[in-house]
Amino acid sequence: MPMSRPTSRWTAGWAPRRTSARARGGRAGTALAGVLAAALLAGCGLGGSRDAGGGQRDAGGQGATGTSTKALPAPDPTRCPAGAGQSGGGQDAGGAPGPGRDRAPRGPFLVDPRSQAAQVAAANPATAQAIAPLVQTPTAFPVGDWLTDVTGEVRSRTAAATASGSTAVFMIYAIPHRDVAAGFSAGGLPDAGAYRQFTRQVAAGIGAARAVLVLEPDALGQIDELAPGQAAERYVLLRDAVDVYASLPATSVYLDGANCGWIAPGEMARRLAQAGVAHARGFAVNVANYYRTGDEVSRAEIVAGLLGGAHYVVDTSRNGRGPASGLANAWCNPPGRGLGIRPTTETGYPHADAFLWVKTPGASDGECGRGDPSAGTWWQRAATDLVRNASE
């Protein structure tokens, strides 16, 4: 695969994770929200104090199917502004769980020999050592409307995973009206028919292979930015995609569930239920953002409880130092960040299936209003900073 095409076209593929002031408004940590969150966690048998490190070094222990789990407090509103509260309801789990709910992912995950980092390293041997951890760590392959052979690109990764006894991880990002709010990754497929065809092309590339799909970052977080007809269409397309992917025999499907700074658990659960999460394994949090793992887990466990025990994955690709503060568009290429926990299924949390690197470390979030490289473009300085500041 020529390096120039995925690098340039990932401009369309990678600047999700909005955290706008409007989205946060009224949802950050009131006393009532904290009481509700604590009650929900207590009902799940959770409680106690969190680790002094902010929950970042929380790998190890048993995985989601193990017997050992970590104690969780209610989300701290100073670190997880949208972590508490039941705004918008969310008590309806969205119907009876489908077969996809029982399909937990299996490690290890694929180290893609043709990842963006691997291509950069091969083309620039003099600087390859500086990004070696990025080349050597499993990272999701972004699948979107910039690919000319969707089925072929997906199949090449699932074939490599099958040959190595691993599980391929994909981030699907092609929904019509993509990134309608922030715009750095605006685009997507032109209409519903094209998206349905794309969904089936992806599914054909996966087949019976083991795979994890993180489905459409920001699609539900930004759905209130769409016109009513467009929002209704988006829910239909997401439900269709969930059903198509969940029908594959070895694929774990996770709808995007936003992050600690964006959508309150009750409202997020309502949107996930409407998008068909009952037929999926669950949802993904912190995709392409920087919130600490422990904070994201505290919020995600509340969402999971509202959805009848749905499971989730956490994007830990760049959260080793937590989020930035005092910066406009702090979700967008903040300086001083670091790599987080490496991909693993040993999370130690009740419903956390895995920590994954969903966002490609080293790929720009967008121009960010600061003249940064366009979304998806490789940024060597950012890549080396992430490696240097890694939490592990």
Choose, from 179, 353, 365, 385, the residue flagged as catalytic.
365
Cα–Cα distance, 209 to 206 (Å, whole number): 6
Residue 69 pLDDT: 65
Q: pLDDT band at 68, cuts 50/70/90? A: low
Mean pLDDT of 371-375: 93
**333-346 pLDDT tens trace:** 999 999 999 999 99
Two structure tokens written together for 223:
């759905």
Residue 182 pLDDT: 67
pLDDT at 203 over 70: yes
Binding-site members for substrate are 262, 289, 331, 359
Cα–Cα distance, 135 to 140 (Å, whole number): 12
Mean pLDDT of 278-293: 97
pLDDT at 130 over 70: yes
Q: Which residue has the higher pLDDT, 288 or 327?
A: 288
Total H helices, total E strands in the chain: 11, 7
Choose, from 218, 256, 295, 353, the residue flagged as catalytic.
218
Residue 270 belongs to domain with CATH number: 3.20.20.40
Q: What percent of the chain has pLDDT over 90?
A: 69
Mean pLDDT of 185-214: 96
pLDDT at 95 over 70: yes
The answer to which of 30-39, 79-88, 201-210 has the lowest mean pLDDT is: 30-39
pLDDT at 158 over 90: yes
pLDDT at 14 over 80: no
Would you call 385 a catalytic residue per the annotation? no
pLDDT at 45 over 80: no
The tally of domains found in the chain comes to 1
Edge-to-edge strand order for the sheet containing 168-173? Answer: 141-144, 168-173, 211-215, 251-256, 282-285, 311-315, 352-356
Q: What's the maximum distance between 2 C-alpha atoms anywhere in the chain?
A: 55
Residue 29 pLDDT: 33
List the domain range (segments joined by +) for residue 17.
4-388
Would you call 365 a catalytic residue per the annotation? yes
Residue 391 pLDDT: 85
Residue 86 pLDDT: 59
Residue 67 pLDDT: 41
The answer to which of 72-76, 136-140, 297-301, 341-345 has the lowest mean pLDDT is: 72-76
Mean pLDDT of 156-166: 98
Cα–Cα distance, 295 to 77 (Å, whole number): 9
Q: Which residue has the higher pLDDT, 182 or 207?
A: 207
Q: pLDDT band at 231, cuts 50/70/90? A: very high
Mean pLDDT of 362-389: 94
Strands 311-315 and 168-173 come out as unpaired
Mean pLDDT over each residue of the chain, to the nearest integer: 84
Helix (H) or strand (E) holding 142: strand 141-144
Cα–Cα distance, 160 to 165 (Å, whole number): 9
Residue 36 pLDDT: 36
Residue 84 pLDDT: 74
pLDDT at 172 over 90: yes
Q: pLDDT band at 85, cuts 50/70/90? A: low
pLDDT at 274 over 90: yes
Which residue, 16, 38, 22, is CA-closest to 83?
A: 38
Q: Which residue has the higher pLDDT, 11 or 113?
A: 113
**313-365 pLDDT tens trace:** 999 999 999 999 988 888 899 999 999 999 999 999 989 999 999 999 999 99
